[in-house]
Chain A
Amino acid sequence: MRYESVLDLIGDTPLVGIHALSPHPGVRIYAKLEGQNPGGSSKDRIALRMVEAAENDGRLRPGDTILEPSSGNTGIGLALVARMRGYRLRVVMPENVSVERRQLLEIFGAEVTLSPPEEGSNGAIRLAESIAADDPALVMLFQYGNAANPLAHYEGTGPEIWRDCPDVDCFVAGLGTSGTLMGVGRYLKERNPAVRIVAVEPPSGELVQGLRSLDDGFVPPVFDPALLDRKLIARPRESVEWTRRLLDECGIFAGISSGAAVYGAVRMAEQMESGTVVTLLPDGGWKYLSSGAWTDDLDVVVERATRINYW
């Protein structure tokens, strides 16, 4: 295959069987490998789409600076797109993300502003909002409230899954901004209303200890709870265990949130006698090597995972 720009490599990721992890022989599980995107995660899709939408409606002009709160992958995707399209980028990121996420942002030329680790992504959002209020020249794309985020999945990820696996009975993905679940969920339910859409999330509210009151909570404006059929917690231990099993039994080197998604897919498969579950692995394992996820003692890694923001 031949491409004229690295941005043309975004999307059209492979769907790969991970049936070895299925608890029932009659249930097949497929994983969509979003780590194959050029910036290394599913967020490349929304980065490109949000930039194009802002260019088209005139909010973003050559030489502008984009500001975005992100725990990592959206920032990295935006850094790639911004570099190719001639924008500057400033990312507001919780201080406790993996060192590789910061390194990648810096390599791509983004400016990184750190937010208090104990406030998690909620704190990064608040800090970005206050920076944007002080400097109206900054263009905040705001993945949590930008319709181009779910749209990238409604027009890309969803149709790809349907094309490659029209027999899908259940789709399982991590919940962060909810863009993946909203876009893919809406598309699949339009094609087949019986498809179940299942969200997996880390127990972030346990890990983010710096919230002063429940009013500091945050629900992304793009999130429509009516599109979900179920929402499950995947704890750090389960997430790391399934990240390891993905490597050991399927040869797939994926990030820790991928382990969480696979855990959710297996939980759903346990309740089925036959059928097909599709899950989405947001990124590869490269950015988590420093966590020791594959090499160190499980208890040590799990304890570490409760202190780093891997979502």
Chain B
Amino acid sequence: MVEVRLPTLLRPHADGAASVGVEGSSVAEVLADLTRRHPGLEGQILDPAGTLHKFVNVYVNDDDVRYLDALDTKVSEGDVVSILPAVAGG
């Protein structure tokens, strides 16, 4: 099982859950299983073209998947996938 952590603003689309246990061996599979369990998340994380929403960052453990293999990034049992909105600093 893989733990997916959701940011505050997505929790209302997932019955209020801060974290959801899902199955999958890649980020794409993890997100697909997440959306199957919580259909309200459909369209929130991926854009209509099936790529990551511009203002969403997805991390496997502490690594941003855009700099790994994006949606094809491998995920293993026990990994934590975090979904966070893009926020500025400075």
Contacts and interface: CB of A to CB of B under 8 A. Distances in A.
B88 A213 contact: no
Nearest 4 Cβ contacts at the A-B interface: A217-B55, A176-B89, A205-B84, A231-B64
Interface stretch (A4-12, A17-25, A218-226, A296-304): A218-226
Interface in B8-59: 8-10, 44, 53-57, 59
Interface stretch (A100-108, A118-126, A158-166): A118-126
A215 B57 CA distance: 13
B90 interface: yes
A121 B89 contact: yes
Contact of A211 (B57, B67, B85): B85
A208 B9 CA distance: 10
A232 B9 contact: no
Contacts of B89: 71, 121, 174-177, 201-202, 204, 311
Contacts of A230: 63-64, 67
A143 interface: yes
Given A213-B9, A217-B55, A218-B55, A120 B66 contact: no
Nearest to A232: B62
Nearest to B86: A217
Contacts of B84: 203-206
A213 to B, nearest CB: 6
Given A208-B85, A217-B56, 19 more contacts: A122-B87, A122-B88, A144-B88, A176-B88, A177-B89, A199-B64, A204-B87, A205-B84, A205-B87, A206-B8, A206-B82, A212-B9, A214-B10, A214-B56, A217-B55, A220-B88, A230-B63, A231-B57, A233-B63
Nearest to A213: B9
B52 to A, nearest CB: 11
A213 B86 CA distance: 11
B66 to A, nearest CB: 6
Interface string A37-80: 00000010000000000000000000000000011011000000
Given A211-B9, A233-B82, A70 B90 contact: yes
Contacts, number: 106
Question: Which size class do B's interface residues fall under?
Answer: 20 to 34
A232 B63 contact: yes
A290 interface: no
Interface of B: 5, 7-10, 44, 53-57, 59, 62-64, 66-67, 82, 84-90
28 contacts: A71-B89, A121-B88, A121-B89, A122-B87, A122-B88, A143-B90, A174-B89, A176-B89, A176-B90, A205-B7, A205-B87, A206-B5, A206-B7, A206-B84, A208-B85, A209-B9, A214-B56, A214-B85, A217-B54, A217-B55, A217-B56, A217-B85, A217-B87, A218-B87, A220-B88, A228-B67, A230-B67, A267-B62
Nearest to B8: A209
Contacts of B87: 120-122, 204-205, 208, 211, 217-218
A115 to B, nearest CB: 12
